[in-house]
Amino acid sequence: QVQLVDSGGGSVQAGGSLRLSCAASGYTDRIVLVGWFRQAPGKEREGVAAVYIGDGSTFYADSVIGRFTISQDYAKTMAYLEMNSLKPEDTAIYYCAARQYSGTSRPLIRNEYNNWGQGTQVTVSS
């Protein structure tokens, strides 16, 4: 199994920036895909961004294109989500997730992942 610890959340004003980090341990060599998801109160958990470890290809939700950047450092078993131009609607608990062994055609779908971090709160005030 893989253990994930995400961190870096906080409170910022609209227009500000945050960088989330995800540290992986355990069978990290079996991870093929890392994603960031978020869940706002009363809403479903939604995919925000994902990156394939092998070729570095990335995927983003339309709502964050141009503002968020996902990256990974395989050697350090870390993944990051750089969030710029934050909006109040970005307020949510953010979770990193990892998928092992095989790829998927749906990298931003929650059910495609079987390893999850504990979540980190991001609050954006207007």
pLDDT in tens, 30-89: 999 999 999 999 999 999 999 999 899 999 999 999 999 999 987 778 999 999 999 999
**Residue 8 in this model has a pLDDT that exceeds 80:** yes
pLDDT at 96: 97
pLDDT (0 to 100) of residue 41: 93
Mean pLDDT of the chain: 96
Three-state secondary structure call for residue 29? helix
Q: How far apart are CA 55 and CA 15, in angstroms?
A: 31
**Residue 12 · residue 24 · CB < 8 Å:** no
Q: Which residues contact 35 (CB under 8 A, 6 or more apart)?
A: 47, 48, 49, 50, 51, 96, 97, 98, 99, 107, 108, 113
